[in-house]
């Protein structure tokens, strides 16, 4: 059988799947007949409907729950449809979400419709309406909400790819520098200090040379994972380059950094890394650490430079130890005992 030629056009693509059922829809409609009609139809079409008779109640519910679609009557007690739409848009902005808003109205003057859209409505339906029209409009809304969610998910994925080291699954150098910068800014606002540790694997070249690059990769990955496991949730870890790792410790002064770096050093020294040929490796780290506490004008560069110099001392003093820089470039030795 002749095989179809693969071209850009017939490459398999991820399907854009839209689930039309089970969506949560908030309905604010004070007129009993229309309210019943909408509620019954939504249920029949497989939606979960929250139905209220005034705008204020609808707003309360909307604030408490994450609702992707709302149907709002124009005229309601306490809060009109357009007023509620405006409030929903403000909440959307704060939450970084998008709600699809359909206004139900007896008005059909072009000025009224323009006002409804200006208030934030995505669509409108004029009373009296046929249920199939409502269904079609809701389905259009669901397509848009689904697409928006998919785009957000892609955006998150791309962001993660751009800021994560693909081998070690920790932050990239660029990102960790950004993190130090934002932690310093936050520290200044909140009068808090920021600790930084730079670790470098001891004799890593020898591991690569003796057991091969893939074995070196395994060692790097295990060490990064071990460090990540042993830091707090709001600490950050990144790859500065090669076998150099950086840890950012918000709210840490010199005393905390000393304690934490010792703990991390020991946790890695405890690792026994078994290779495919059953060889067991026991890698160690050297580190240099400091805290913004001892700087009059801390910057990511000055912290890193100080850590780097302290790390250099740790290497020359025999490795498997951390040197704490208690002043910029003035170094006090602390060893792993
Ligand atoms: P020292 O104790 O002085 O740190 O000695 P070292 O052998 O570890 O020397 P250095 O830190 O300068 O060497 C880092 C080595 O890390 C050199 C490079 O080939 C290796 N390396 C860098 N990135 C990777 C990687 O992604 N995978 C592997 N397997 N090796 C890497
Ligand atoms: Mg090294």
Q: What is the reported pLDDT for 166?
A: 95
Taking the chain (337 residues) in consecutive chunks of 10 residues, what is each chunk's mean pLDDT? 51 59 92 94 95 95 96 92 97 94 89 93 94 95 93 92 96 97 97 98 98 97 98 97 98 98 97 94 98 96 96 98 87 42
Nearest to 303 by CA among 247, 243, 230, 237: 247
Please give the pLDDT value at position 330. Answer: 46
Q: What are the structural domains, with CATH classification, of the chain?
A: 24-161 (3.40.50.2300), 173-335 (3.30.70.270)
Pairing of strands 24-28, 69-73: parallel
Contacts of 11 (CB under 8 A, 6+ apart): none
CA dist 58 and 36 (Å) reads: 16
Q: Which ligand is nearest to the CA of 316?
A: 1
Question: Which ligand is closest to the CA of 216, given by its number?
Answer: 1
- Ligand 1 center to 289 CA (angstroms): 20
pLDDT at 110: 87
* 171 Cα–ligand 2 center, Å: 19
- The alpha carbon of 159 and the centre of ligand 2 are apart by a number of angstroms equal to 29
What atom of ligand 1 comes closest to residue 207's alpha carbon? 7
Pocket test for ligand 1, best of 204, 208, 275, 317 (most atoms within 8 A of CB): 204
User: Which residues are catalytic, by number?
Assistant: 243
pLDDT for 336 equals 40
* φ/ψ (deg, to 5) at 71: -115, 120
For ligand 1, mutation pick of 167, 170, 208 (most atoms within 8 Å of CB): 208
Structural contact between residues 226 and 266, judged by C-beta atoms closer than 8 angstroms: no
3 state DSSP class of 24: strand
* pLDDT for 334: 45
Ligand nearest to the CA of 312: 1
Q: How far is the CA of 243 from the centre of ligand 2 (A)?
A: 6
Please give all residues whose beta carbon lies within 6 A of any atom in ligand 1, as ranges.
167, 200-206, 208, 213, 216-217, 220, 242-243, 315, 319
Kindly report the pTM of this predicted structure: 0.75
């Amino acid at each position: 059988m002749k095989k179809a030629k693969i071209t850009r056009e017939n490459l398999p693509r991820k399907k854009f799947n839209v689930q039309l059922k089970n969506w949560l829809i908030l309905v604010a409609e004070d007129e009993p007949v229309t309210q019943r009609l909408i509620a019954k139809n939504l249920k029949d079409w497989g939606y979960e409907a929250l139905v209220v008779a005034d705008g204020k109640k609808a707003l309360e519910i909307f604030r408490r729950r994450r609702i992707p679609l709302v149907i709002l009557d124009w005229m309601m007690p306490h809060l009109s449809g357009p007023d509620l739409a405006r409030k929903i848009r403000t909440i959307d902005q704060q939450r970084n979400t998008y709600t699809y808003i359909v206004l139900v109205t007896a008005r059909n003057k072009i000025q009224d419709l323009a006002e409804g859209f200006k208030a934030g409505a995505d669509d409108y339906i004029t009373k009296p309406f046929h249920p199939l029209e409502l269904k079609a409009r809701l389905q259009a809304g669901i397509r848009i909400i689904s697409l928006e969610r998919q785009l957000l998910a892609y955006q998150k994925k791309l962001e993660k790819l751009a800021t994560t080291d693909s081998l070690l699954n920790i932050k990239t150098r660029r990102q960790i520098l950004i993190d130090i910068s934002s932690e310093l800014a936050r520290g200044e606002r909140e009068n808090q200090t920021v600790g930084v540790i730079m670790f470098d694997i001891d004799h890593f070249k020898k591991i690569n040379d003796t057991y091969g690059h893939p074995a070196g990769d395994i060692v790097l990955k295990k060490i990064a994972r071990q460090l990540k496991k042993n830091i707090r949730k709001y600490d950050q870890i990144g790859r500065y380059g090669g076998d150099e790792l950086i840890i950012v410790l918000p709210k840490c002064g010199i005393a905390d950094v000393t304690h934490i770096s010792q703990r991390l050093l020991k946790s890695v020294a405890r690792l026994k890394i078994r290779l495919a040929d059953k060889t067991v490796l026991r890698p160690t780290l050297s580190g240099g650490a400091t805290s913004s506490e001892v700087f009059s004008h801390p910057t990511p560069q000055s912290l890193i430079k100080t850590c780097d110099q302290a790390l250099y001392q740790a290497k020359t003093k025999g490795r498997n130890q951390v040197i704490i820089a208690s002043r910029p470039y003035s170094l006090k030795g602390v060893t792993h005992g």
